């Protein structure tokens, strides 16, 4: 049967969907796997080989049933994830660290698929922190190549599934080719409306506030605003999460049992419900995600009042 990554209308409560497969089994994988090929030509490949027909095959979220217990009216609009535990996952299996990261990418793809199915509008993922630059050079280089490969390979899916990609963080520290790829991908998918994936790379909450502050200071210098005009609203406009209609995550999930935010989106997490999962990121699947969402839906949110 010709494979296509379509989002199953029959969600499972436990275990992976039998209809989703790792991306390397995609029939068009070999055509997209052209390292450093410009974005446009790989997009063209993807659309030609997949058939433009599939690009128009949209499943409205309303027609899909949610797992038992989940209420559609109480689904979070924006979920944020700290994808922790990839290296530990690899070490526990006596695998090289890179296997952990690759397993982490697979886990992310599954969660993106589930978010689209269940009507979550935005997913933010903490892919690479400002602090991660201090990791071993070999590891950092591998991660950069993994990001590049992943974005190139999945370009077709972003278009087919009407997914918008946004990247936040200090991109100037990334390899030039990756910077260009990310900027182009953002531009090319900016009108996609079904779902938004925000990838935080070379990002930290402190960085976000400092860059917003610097931009506001420059605006004040230009006479566009007075420093005394600076308020919550002006800050929000300059924070990097201004790329989305829902800048404040409703739910933050951190895997691997660590109980801390680790400098991810500090401002934006003011009233976010926090959920700490024990499993490592590559093991975090539909069952755990469901658990997090069910817990979220039971919380009473008061927004500080």
Write out the catalytic residue numbers.
Answer: 84
Residue 183 contacts other proteins per CB under 8 A = yes
- Give the rounded distance of the alpha carbon of 277 from its chain centre: 18
- Only segment of 26-34, 50-58, 60-68, 166-174 that touches other proteins (CB under 8 A): 166-174
User: What token pair was written down for 19?
Assistant: 């209809």
Q: What's the rounded Cα separation, in Å, for the pair 99 and 87?
A: 8
Nearer residue to other proteins within complex by CB, 21 or 221: 221
273, 252 Cβ separation under 8 angstroms: yes
Q: Find the binding residues for other proteins in span 223-252 (CB under 8 A).
A: 227-228, 230-232, 235
Nearer residue to other proteins within complex by CB, 158 or 207: 207
Residue 142 contacts other proteins per CB under 8 A = no
Residue 1 contacts other proteins per CB under 8 A = no
* Other residues' Cβ atoms within 10 Å of the Cβ of residue 199: 23
Residue 173 contacts other proteins per CB under 8 A = yes
- Only segment of 19-27, 91-99, 140-148, 199-207 that touches other proteins (CB under 8 A): 199-207
Residue 205 contacts other proteins per CB under 8 A = yes
Nearer residue to other proteins within complex by CB, 153 or 288: 288
Residue 91 contacts other proteins per CB under 8 A = no
103, 86 Cβ separation under 8 angstroms: yes
3 state SS of 299: coil
Identified binder of other proteins from the candidate list 93, 260, 278, 298, rule CB under 8 A? 260
182, 203 Cβ separation under 8 angstroms: no
Per-residue burial over 111-132, b if 16 or more Cβ lie within 10 Å, else e, is bbbbbbbbbbbbbbbbbbbbeb
Nearer residue to other proteins within complex by CB, 29 or 133: 133
Strand order in the sheet with 195-203: 163-168, 195-203, 122-129, 78-82, 251-254, 273-276
Work out how close the CB of 207 gets to other proteins at its nearest, in angstroms, rounded to a whole number.
Answer: 4
Identified binder of other proteins from the candidate list 135, 149, 194, 291, rule CB under 8 A? 135
Identified binder of other proteins from the candidate list 27, 218, 278, 298, rule CB under 8 A? 218
Per the listing, tokens 């390899």 go with: 175
Number of residues located near other proteins, criterion CB under 8 A: 55
Nearer residue to other proteins within complex by CB, 149 or 215: 215
Residue 305 contacts other proteins per CB under 8 A = yes
Q: What's the rounded Cα separation, in Å, for the pair 216 and 10?
A: 48
Q: What's the rounded Cα separation, in Å, for the pair 198 and 166?
A: 5
User: Which uninterrupted H or E stretch holds 122?
Assistant: strand 122-129
Nearer residue to other proteins within complex by CB, 3 or 271: 271
- Contact footprint for other proteins (CB under 8 A): 130-131, 133-135, 170-173, 179, 183, 202, 204-207, 209-218, 220-222, 227-228, 230-232, 235, 258-263, 266-267, 269-276, 299, 303-305
């Amino acid at each position: 049967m010709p494979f296509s990554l379509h989002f199953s209308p029959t969600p499972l409560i436990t275990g992976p969907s039998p209809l989703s497969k790792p991306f390397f089994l995609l029939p068009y994988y070999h055509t997209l796997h052209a390292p450093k090929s410009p974005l446009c030509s790989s997009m063209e490949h993807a659309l030609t080989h997949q058939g433009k027909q599939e690009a128009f095959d949209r499943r409205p979220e309303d027609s899909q049933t949610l797992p038992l217990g989940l209420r559609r009216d109480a689904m979070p609009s924006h979920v944020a994830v700290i994808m922790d535990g990839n290296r530990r996952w690899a070490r526990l299996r006596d695998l090289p660290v890179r296997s952990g990261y690759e397993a982490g990418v697979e886990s992310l793809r599954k969660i993106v698929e589930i978010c689209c199915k269940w009507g979550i509008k935005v997913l933010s993922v903490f892919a690479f922190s400002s602090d991660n630059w201090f990791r071993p050079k070999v590891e950092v280089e591998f991660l950069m190549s993994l990001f590049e490969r992943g974005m190139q390979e999945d370009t077709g899916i972003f278009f087919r599934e009407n997914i918008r990609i946004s990247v936040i963080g200090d991109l100037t520290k990334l390899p030039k080719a990756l910077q260009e790829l990310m900027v182009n991908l953002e531009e090319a998918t900016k009108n996609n409306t079904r779902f938004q994936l925000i990838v935080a790379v070379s990002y930290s909450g402190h960085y976000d506030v400092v860059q917003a502050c610097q931009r506001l200071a420059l605006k004040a210098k230009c006479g566009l605003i007075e420093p005394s005009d600076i308020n919550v609203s002006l800050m929000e406009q300059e924070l990097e999460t201004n790329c989305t209609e829902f800048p404040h995550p409703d739910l933050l999930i951190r895997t691997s049992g660590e109980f801390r935010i680790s400098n991810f989106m500090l401002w934006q997490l003011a009233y976010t419900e926090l959920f700490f999962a024990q499993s490592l990121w590559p093991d975090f699947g539909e069952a755990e995600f469901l658990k997090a969402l069910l817990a979220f839906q039971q919380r009473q949110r008061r927004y500080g009042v």
